[in-house]
Amino acid sequence: MTTMKKPATSPGVLEPVPGILDIEPYVGGRAAAPGAQRVFKLSSNESPLGPSPKALEAYRAAAGQLANYPEGSSRLLREAIARVHGLDAERIICGNGSDELLHLITQVYCRPGDEVLYSEHAFLVYRIAALAASAVPVVAPEPRRIVDIDAMIARMGPRTRIVFLANPNNPTGSYLKKGEVKRLLDALPGHALLVIDAAYAEYVDEGDYESGLGLASANPQVIFTRTFSKIYALAGLRAGWLYAAPEIVGHLNRARGPFNVSVPAQAAAAAAVEDRAHVAQSKAHNDKWLSWLTHEIRALGFQVDDSVCNFLLIHFGHEAGKTADDADRFLMARGLILRGVRNYGLPDALRLTVGTEEANRLVVAALADFVKARP
Q: Which residues bind ligand PLP (CB under 6 A)?
A: 45, 97-99, 123, 166, 170, 197, 199, 227, 229-230, 235, 240
Question: In angstroms, rounded to a whole number, what is the distance separating the alpha carbons of residues 364 and 81?
Answer: 37
The torsion angles phi and psi of 341, rounded to 5 degrees, stand at -125, 30
Give the nearer residue to ligand PLP in terms of CB position, either 341 or 366. 341
Tell me the CB-side half-sphere exposure of residue 180, using CA atoms within 13 A: 18
Nearest of 157, 116, 109, 160 to residue 139 by alpha carbon:
116
Picking from 240, 227, 268, the residue whose alpha carbon sits closest to that of residue 63 is: 268
Q: Cα separation of 239 and 361, whole Å? A: 31
Contact 368, 329 (CB under 8 A): no
Of 103 and 334, the one with the shorter C-beta distance to ligand PLP is 103
Comparing CB distances to ligand PLP, the nearer of 46 and 275 is: 46
Output 98 or 174, the one with its CB closest to ligand PLP: 98
CB closer to ligand PLP, 98 vs 260: 98
Which of 272, 279, 271, 101 is CA-nearest to residue 203? 279
* Alpha carbons 51 and 231: distance in angstroms, whole number: 8
DSSP strands (E only) in the chain: 40-41, 92-95, 115-119, 136-140, 160-166, 193-197, 222-227, 240-243, 303-304, 311-315, 336-337, 339-341, 346-353
Instruction: Give whichever of 170 and 286 is closer to ligand PLP, judged by the CB atom.
Output: 170
CB nearer to ligand PLP: give 81 or 366. Answer: 81
Q: How far is the CB of 25 from ligand PLP (least distance, A)?
A: 16
Q: Of the two residues 45 and 360, which places its CB atom closer to ligand PLP in the complex?
A: 45
Residue whose CB is less far from ligand PLP, 184 or 366: 184
Report the distance separating Cα 368 and Cα 375, nearest Å. 14
* Minimum gap (Å) between residue 45 Cβ and ligand PLP: 6
Buried b (16+ CB within 10 A) or exposed e, 230-267: bbbbbbebbbbbbbbbeebbeebeeebeeebbbbbbbb
Shortest Å distance, C-beta 296 to ligand PLP = 24
- Least distance to ligand PLP, CB of residue 247, Å: 24
The DSSP bridge partners found for residue 227 are 240
Closest separation in Å from C-beta 121 to ligand PLP: 11
Q: How far is the CB of 196 from ligand PLP (least distance, A)?
A: 11
**Do the beta carbons of residue 233 and residue 282 sit within 8 Å?**
yes
CB of 353 to ligand PLP, least distance (A): 11
CB of 94 to ligand PLP, least distance (A): 11
Helix (H, G, I), strand (E, B) or coil at 61: helix
Smaller CB separation from ligand PLP, 107 or 323: 107
Per residue, what are the HEC states of 259-290?
A: CCCCHHHHHHHHHHHHCHHHHHHHHHHHHHHH
Strand, helix or coil for residue 78: helix
Kindly state the smallest distance separating residue 288's Cβ from ligand PLP, in Å: 21
For the chain, give the number of residues: 375
Q: Which residue is nearest to ligand PLP (CB)?
A: 97
Q: Measured from the CB of residue 319, what is the shortest distance to ligand PLP in angstroms?
A: 31
- Cα 132 to Cα 129: distance, rounded to the nearest angstrom: 5
